[in-house]
Amino acid sequence: MIVKETTSTNSPIYEDALSIRHEVFITEQNIPFEREIEGEEDKYYFVGYVGTTAAVCARAFLESPGIWHVQRVACRKEYRGMHLSSELMRFIEEKASDSGIKLITLGAQDQAAPFYERLGFTTIGEVFFDAGIPHHRMDKEI
């Protein structure tokens, strides 16, 4: 898998991320379009490509000094089970560490929490609901 990144919402990489997110969050999980595309500016966008196909994506932003918040981690259905999301998260962790980041935080859908636990994330606090889906905050020091 090749990972490409951008901070531009005018980039084809960003468009590929939106395509994956539309498929996973809007079509599969019925999240409203307006909710899915809010807050798009000032983010890092990461897309993993298998050949020329955009297979997996995520976005991140500087939440506060030394802390990146990762969001919108998604993988196309036909690429699930291939460990591409794990590979993408490792790439993001390396990029964050190289940028002086010490902590990655995210809001994991409860069904995805075991995935993040395998990557070394720890659950923090109580359940919260985002777009009607139960989530937990999870953190990882890097």
Intervals of the chain under pLDDT 70: none
Domains of the chain listed by start with CATH number: 2-141 (3.40.630.30)
pTM of the predicted protein model:
0.94
The rounded distance, in Å, linking the Cα atoms of 140 and 119 is 9
Q: Which pLDDT score, from 0 to 100, does residue 20 have?
A: 98
